[in-house]
């Protein structure tokens, strides 16, 4: 048990050290203010120590006054005044501490939030695919905010009460070392009880928060899937699951509070025993005339304050631990190397000609499972390359690699003869436009969303791009035209409309290389014709790599690459490979059948 306790404490210390290492660089801008807080903490501690001392003086002059009432009254006045000053100083110090430590803590939260977000933006999409978005959001928002109370309250409160306890012990020893030793007897027991109870208590609180997460997850899931629950008559089972988790949650929460409640008597009891010991033994010595009565009074007053750090430790342990866990999660994100590293002194090209070449490219998302094997392809400027193949063949992976969301494990990808790894990411992405199937629109106006392609575009240029993309007419018919709010909180757009906005973005960006993922979902014939026309305009004069599904697009391409299970199986123009009687011929035949239906 003791060994486990020691190991646990050691593990905790390590976690704390790790957290400190993460936070260290962030403290730098705040060192001056932190020093200021520390000074005022000392002031508050000193003022806190002064009050019982003054009361001791009061008792002393009352007991020794004996006739010199005028003199005693004057001393009483001085004591009262000193007491007033000490309380004023304490109050002022507390204000400064509270305010400045929160300024520091929130400043730190701000810096952490920005740093974590900035770091996240550097990660390749693989990082985000492997994690739930809620978890990532919580890294930026919740974990950083969790650091605030540990900096502003937990550490500060603990430092104040710890200093106070040390001060008290010094004063007590200077008053009467023997009595101090006596009064200290229960201290180790109180500490022991706190340490022993704290562990199961924290475990219970941790379980409570886990249950809380599980409960919210389940309710959220069930609310989203309410149709399925109702149609499949699953209400009773789901209710049972919710009730089960809720029961567990209640049990854990009550257990956690019960353990907390058990801690109170340990500390209160220790305080009480210390006082009883002082009153009994100190009282006897006072009766014998060996110890002045005012010292006993001061002893009792100081003892009531001695156990304060233990209370504080208990009060803040939870947030302290939560905070440390959060800091360590933040540390993990901050120390993670993005899979795709930007070359700091890489080549910066304003506008490439657009020749794209893949040479012997191998790639695996997971080690050992090759998704692309020995891919070789070249797209000359102004040409269109159509990638064709069954689902899972690796088409999207190829285009993701051209945008350098992933680096090849073997081989290389070059644009204008420059290896992508030697080019600044900024420069590469400046030269690329992507029009994907799943168009993401940000909360904002239509205009903002198109302007995403080029933030400096004028209103006229936005409208011009929308016209090229065949989007102007439908935008015009929206309630507020280009100022209509879209995205989650605004007007819902159809798939075809979203695609045209995405084309308008790409038109506005005017990048030499275009990556296109042709939509598979069907839109009505007229919309499809409009989208097709817009795409043809967009592709003109650019170097395009198209994940093609439509026969017409494939036929018009300068070059077709047929992929199967991560390998190029056929390559050439439509006429060249349609007669091969291979995968391409079969895909074309199937497409024709589908059209005939």
CA neighbor of 509 nearest in space, from 431, 588, 415: 431
Rank residues 383 and 396 by Cβ distance to ligand ADP and give the closer one: 396
Burial class (CB in 10 A: 0-12, 13-18, 19+), 73: exposed
Q: How many CB atoms lie within 10 A of CB 506?
A: 27
Query: Which phi and psi angles does 411 have, rounded to 5°?
Result: 80, -175
Tokens coding 311: 């209370």
Structure tokens at 152: 């502003």
Residues 102, 150 contacting (CB under 8 angstroms): no
* Site residues (vs ligand ADP, CB under 6 A): 126, 129, 365, 371, 389, 391-397
Reduced to 3 states (helix: H, G, I; strand: E, B; else coil), residue 413 is strand
Q: What is the CA radius of gyration of the chain?
A: 36
Q: What is the closest distance, in whole angstroms, from the C-beta atom of residue 404 to ligand ADP in the complex?
A: 15
The distance of closest approach from Cβ of residue 457 to ligand ADP in the complex, given in angstroms and rounded to an integer, is: 31
Cβ partners under 8 Å of residue 577, min gap 6: 560, 562, 570, 571, 584, 585
In the complex, minimum distance from the CB of residue 25 to ligand ADP, in angstroms, rounded to a whole number: 33
Residue 526 burial (CB count, 10 A): 9
CB 272 within 8 A of CB 138: no
- Give least dist CB 436 to ligand ADP, A: 11
Q: CB of residue 540 vs ligand ADP: minimum separation in angstroms?
A: 25
To the nearest 10°, report the CA torsion of 18, 21, 23, 24: 160
Residue with smaller CB distance to ligand ADP, 81 or 365: 365
DSSP codes joined into one string, 99-161: HHHHHHHHHHHHHHHHHHHHHHHHS-HHHHHTS-HHHHHHHHTHHHHHHHHIIIIIIHHHHHH
Nearer to ligand ADP (CB atom), residue 41 or residue 554: 554
Nearer to ligand ADP, 448 or 518 (CB): 518
Instruction: Please identify, using beta-carbon distances, which residue of 373 and 537 lies nearer to ligand ADP.
Output: 373
Nearest distance from residue 129's CB to ligand ADP, in Å?
4
C-beta of 337 vs 391, nearer to ligand ADP: 391
Q: How far is the CB of 365 from ligand ADP (least distance, A)?
A: 3
Q: What is d(CA 573, CA 559) in angstroms, rounded to the nearest whole number?
A: 5
Nearer residue to ligand ADP within complex by CB, 58 or 563: 563
Say how many CA atoms lie within 13 Å of 44 toward its Cβ: 22
Least separation, in Å, of the C-beta of 397 and ligand ADP? 3
The distance between the two most distant Cα atoms of the chain, rounded to a whole number of Å, is 126
CA-CA distance, 5 to 504, in Å (whole number)? 63
Shortest Cβ 209–ligand ADP spacing (Å): 30
Nearer CB in complex with ligand ADP: 172/399:
399
Residue whose CB is less far from ligand ADP, 45 or 384? 384
Which residue lies nearer to ligand ADP by CB, 164 or 562? 562
Minimum distance from residue 325 beta carbon to ligand ADP (Å): 28
Q: Please, which residue, 250 or 520, has the CB nearer to ligand ADP?
A: 520
The Cα–Cα gap between 583 and 562 comes to 8
Q: Which residues contact 267 (CB under 8 A, 6 or more apart)?
A: 190, 193, 194, 307, 310, 311, 314
Is residue 389 within 8 Å of 582, Cβ to Cβ?
A: no
Q: What is the nearest approach in angstroms of ligand ADP to the Cβ of residue 563?
A: 7
CB atoms within 10 A of CB 593: 9
Rounded-to-integer distance, Cα 314 and Cα 264, Å = 10
581 vs 568: CA distance, rounded Å: 16
Of 128 and 442, CB closest to ligand ADP: 128
Least separation in angstroms between residue 390's CB and ligand ADP is: 7
């Amino acid at each position: 048990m003791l060994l486990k306790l020691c190991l646990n404490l050691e593990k905790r210390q390590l976690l704390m050290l790790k957290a400190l290492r993460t936070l260290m660089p962030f403290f730098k801008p705040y060192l001056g203010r932190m020093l200021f807080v520390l000074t005022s903490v000392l002031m508050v501690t000193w003022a806190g120590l002064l009050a019982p001392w003054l009361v001791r003086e009061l008792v002393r002059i009352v007991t020794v006054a004996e006739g010199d009432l005028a003199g005693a009254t004057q001393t009483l006045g001085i004591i009262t005044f000193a007491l007033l000053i000490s309380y004023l100083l304490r109050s002022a110090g507390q204000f400064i501490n509270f305010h400045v430590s929160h300024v520091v803590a929130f400043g730190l939260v701000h810096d952490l939030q920005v740093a974590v977000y900035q770091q996240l933006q550097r990660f390749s999409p693989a990082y985000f695919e492997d994690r739930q978005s809620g978890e990532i959001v919580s890294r930026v928002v919740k974990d950083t905010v969790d650091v605030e109370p540990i900096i502003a309250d937990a550490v500060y409160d603990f430092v104040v009460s710890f200093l106070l306890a040390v001060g008290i012990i010094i004063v007590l020893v200077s008053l009467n070392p023997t009595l101090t030793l006596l009064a200290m007897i229960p201290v180790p027991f109180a500490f022991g009880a706190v340490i022993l109870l704290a562990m199961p208590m924290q475990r219970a609180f941790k379980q409570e928060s886990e249950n809380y997460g599980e409960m919210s997850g389940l309710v959220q899931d069930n609310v989203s899937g309410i149709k399925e629950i109702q149609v499949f008559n699953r209400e009773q089972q789901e209710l049972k699951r919710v009730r089960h988790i809720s029961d567990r949650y209640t049990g854990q929460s009550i257990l956690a509070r019960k353990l907390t409640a058990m801690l109170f008597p340990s500390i209160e009891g220790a305080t009480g025993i210390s006082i009883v010991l002082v009153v009994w033994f100190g009282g006897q010595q006072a009766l014998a005339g060996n110890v002045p009565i005012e010292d006993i009074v001061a002893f009792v007053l100081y003892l009531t304050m001695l156990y304060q750090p233990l209370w504080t430790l208990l009060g803040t342990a939870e947030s302290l631990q939560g905070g440390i866990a959060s800091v360590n999660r933040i540390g993990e994100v901050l120390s993670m190397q993005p899979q795709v590293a930007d070359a700091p002194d890489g080549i910066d090209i304003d506008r490439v000609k657009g020749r794209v070449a893949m040479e012997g490219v191998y790639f695996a998302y997971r080690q050992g499972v090759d998704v692309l094997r020995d891919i070789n392809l070249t797209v000359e400027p102004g040409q269109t390359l159509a990638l064709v193949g069954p689902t899972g063949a690796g088409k999207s992976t190829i285009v993701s690699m051209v945008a350098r969301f992933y680096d090849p494990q073997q081989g290389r990808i070059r644009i204008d003869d420059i290896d992508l790894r030697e080019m600044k990411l900024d420069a590469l992405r400046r030269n690329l436009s992507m029009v994907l199937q799943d168009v993401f629109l940000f909360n904002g106006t239509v205009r903002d969303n198109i302007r995403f392609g080029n933030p400096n575009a004028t209103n006229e240029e936005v409208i011009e791009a929308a016209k090229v993309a065949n989007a102007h007419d439908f935008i015009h018919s929206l309630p507020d035209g280009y100022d209509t709010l879209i995205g989650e909180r605004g007007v819902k757009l159809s798939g075809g409309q979203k695609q045209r906005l995405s084309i308008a973005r790409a038109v506005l960006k005017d990048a030499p290389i275009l990556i296109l993922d042709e939509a598979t979902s069907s839109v009505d014939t007229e919309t499809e014709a409009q989208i097709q026309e817009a795409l043809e305009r967009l592709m003109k004069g650019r170097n395009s790599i198209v994940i093609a599904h439509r026969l017409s697009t494939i036929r018009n391409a300068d070059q077709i690459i047929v992929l199967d299970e991560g390998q190029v199986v056929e390559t050439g123009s439509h006429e060249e490979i349609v007669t091969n009687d291979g995968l391409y011929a079969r895909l074309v035949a199937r497409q024709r059948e589908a059209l005939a239906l």
